[in-house]
Structure 1
Amino acid sequence: MASVVTGGAGYIGSHLIDYLIEKGDDVISIDDYSSGNYTNTRAKNVKLDLRLAYPEIPKGAIIYHLAANPDVRTSMDNIYDHFERDVKTTLNIMEMARKYDAKLVVFFSSSTVYGEGRIPTTEADKIDPISNYGLFKVMGEEILSFYARNYGIRGISLRLANITGGRVSHGVVIDFIKKLKKNKETLEILGNGKQRKSYLYITDLLSALDVLVKYFKGLYDAFNIGNDDWVTVDEIARIVEEEMKLSPKHVYVDAGEGRGWKGDVRFMLLDISKIKSFGWLPKYSSAQAIRLAVRDVLDKI
């Protein structure tokens, strides 16, 4: 099977490439290396800015589209950069899919499309993002849906919970570890520490992808991919501290209403009944995913 991974030098993309190659796929990785630097020498690695162009790919390939600016926080300030990397790039990918008759496009969307909705949140719940990152993911989903309806290109949008594990480049785990490496006595926590969200370990995401690619037979649909439980930021801090054998004082920096920053969703728990109907279950809980990710990161430092 020919597989194309956009954003293949990044965190999730690099794990996906390794996984696909081990399965025996012929993999093309496309990235401009602006935020990631991973290279698997067994893949065909194409350095390209997907905002400007797209390469020739094999007919009938599966496209896994991850290329984007992954930082939710900076989307509130660097609006045009995020728009181009998150929306314009997606349009170009769908044109690539149309030209080369892609078998399937898997778009890596986000739970941020829901904003702060009902808990747990189902795929049928209101789309109401509170960050530009979430807004641009909604636009990406709409582009996929449009191309499915009008050009017959099959698509799946994955509304992801927080994905964590080795090679993670941003987010609370790496943030806490970096801060504690600099200062073992004090840990700055964005928000009030009571934000509660769902986390999924990277291998559970890969197994979910495997299930959907095998068993989804529709034209287009969106799926929540996350865990059945959630953890608070304070609980994450304790896990990091336990693994680093530290007991720092906590200092909270509240951006208002208990948020870590403007656009921060305080509570996120996805209803994953839809993908469960395909036979998928996460192996690790949210707390276990965090602990495994902390160990992954510490092993590389």
Structure 2
Amino acid sequence: MPYIVTGGAGYIGGHLVDYLVSKDLEVTVIDDFSSGRYVNNKARLIKYDLREGDILNKVKIEKNQIIYHLAANPDVRTSMINIEEHFERDVKVTLNVMELARKLDAEKVIFTSSSTVYGETNTIPTPETEEPKPISNYGLFKLLCENIVKYYAKQYNIKSIVTRLANITGGRVSHGVVIDFIKKLRENPKTLEILGDGRQKKSYLYIDDLIEAFVKLENNVNEIYEVYNIGNTDWITVNEIAKIVTNEMNLNPEIVYKDTGEGRGWPGDVRFMLLDISKINKIGWSPTMNSRDTIRQAVRDILYGYGSNRRFGSH
């Protein structure tokens, strides 16, 4: 079965493409290089801005493919500032990708949504049945995307899976708290600025575990439309992450907090997030590392290079 990966030059997309080509599968990457720059030379690369509409007017693409739709602006913070740009790269692009899926008679679509669709909820861990109440434009636009995917799935009989992701980190990570802390400490080893009050508490999943989850879902879920949380069984505070990073870098900086007044790192920052992953557990997937070990491994990946001996060992 051939594959299309939108956003295949990005962080998660690049790792997914690596996995697929390692299995000698035929992969087409569609990316405009606006965020990611990763290229796997064993995949077919189509440089294209999916905001522009029908890609089939430009290039020929085989029918009956499995489509992983990962193309998006990944920065939650800037969604509260560059609103129209985020809308186009998330919502407009998703509409165009589902049109592509319809025209290609796609075998299946797997869409990467986000835990941010839930907003702040009193239900912890948060199950897929929880009513989404996003507090950021990023979460709002992901929710709109989910509804586009659901509509196309049911209207045109396209098997589709929405994945609501916790924070994903590990080798080659391009954004997020771990890389932010490391960059700050490399610039100034004596001081570390933490956005928020440091007590924000969230769940983190290692990139290889996420790819394993994708494989499980693709192979085991065949309903027309399903939603799955993908995350960890525990969570960790920003202060604890800072301690792991500084320990791994052998530093003892002064900690300085930049708080919005609500304990948030920025407007729209969800302070507490832990997903209920019992639904995906039932099809045989669970994370191999907890949040603390995930953070430590991610720090080491960034400092010393991504460990290829960890990759896809169970396949």
What is the TM-score when the length of structure 1 is the normalising length?
0.99
Alignment equivalent of 1:144, drawn from 133, 143, 149? 149
Query: 2:17 matched to which residue of 1?
Result: 17
Distance of 2:61 and 2:215 partners within structure 1: 22
1:102 alignment partner AA: A
* 1:252 paired to 2:257: yes
TM-align CA RMSD: 1.0
1:68 alignment partner AA: A
- After the TM superposition, list the runs of 4 or more consecutive aligned residues in structure 1 that deviate by more than 6 angstroms: none
Query: 1:122 matched to which residue of 2?
Result: 127
Deviation of the 1:208 alpha carbon: 0.5
The answer to which of 50-59 and 116-125 deviates more is 50-59
User: SS of the residue aligned with 1:292?
Assistant: helix
Measured against aligned partners, the alpha-carbon deviations of 1:272-300 in whole angstroms (never above 9, x if no partner) come to 00000001110010011111111111124
Query: 2:88 matched to which residue of 1?
Result: 84
Measured against aligned partners, the alpha-carbon deviations of 1:110-154 in whole angstroms (never above 9, x if no partner) come to 000000012110000010000000000001100010001110011
Deviation of the 1:169 alpha carbon: 0.8
Distance of 2:61 and 2:245 partners within structure 1: 42
User: SS of the residue aligned with 2:289?
Assistant: coil
Distance of 2:102 and 2:191 partners within structure 1: 52
Distance of 2:261 and 2:284 partners within structure 1: 41
2:111 alignment partner AA: F
- Equivalent positions of 1:198-277 (< 5 A) are 198-277=203-282
* 1:8 paired to 2:4: no
Deviation of the 1:242 alpha carbon: 1.0
- Equivalent positions of 1:165-184 (< 5 A) are 165-184=170-189
Deviation of the 1:57 alpha carbon: 2.3
1:287 alignment partner AA: R
User: SS of the residue aligned with 2:239?
Assistant: helix
Distance of 1:98 and 1:157 partners within structure 2: 17
User: SS of the residue aligned with 1:109?
Assistant: strand
Deviation of the 1:2 alpha carbon: 0.4
Measured against aligned partners, the alpha-carbon deviations of 1:28-71 in whole angstroms (never above 9, x if no partner) come to 00100011111011000110000003244221100000100000
What is the TM-score when the length of structure 2 is the normalising length?
0.94
Query: 1:186 matched to which residue of 2?
Result: 191
Query: 1:35 matched to which residue of 2?
Result: 35
1:37 alignment partner AA: R
* 1:101 paired to 2:105: yes
Distance of 1:279 and 1:17 partners within structure 2: 23
Distance of 2:159 and 2:148 partners within structure 1: 12
Structure 1: segments with no counterpart, 5+ residues: none
User: SS of the residue aligned with 1:51?
Assistant: helix
1:178 alignment partner AA: K
Deviation of the 1:255 alpha carbon: 1.1
Distance of 1:203 and 1:124 partners within structure 2: 26
2:42 alignment partner AA: R
Deviation of the 1:84 alpha carbon: 0.2
Number of positions where the alignment pairs a residue of Structure 1 with one of Structure 2: 301
2:152 alignment partner AA: Y
Query: 1:59 matched to which residue of 2?
Result: 63
Task: State, as a whole percentage, how many aligned pairs show the same letter.
Answer: 62
1:128 alignment partner AA: K
Structure 2: segments with no counterpart, 5+ residues: 307-315
User: SS of the residue aligned with 2:50?
Assistant: coil
The answer to which of 205-214 and 52-61 deviates more is 52-61
User: SS of the residue aligned with 2:4?
Assistant: strand
2:88 alignment partner AA: E
Measured against aligned partners, the alpha-carbon deviations of 1:93-114 in whole angstroms (never above 9, x if no partner) come to 0000000000001000000000
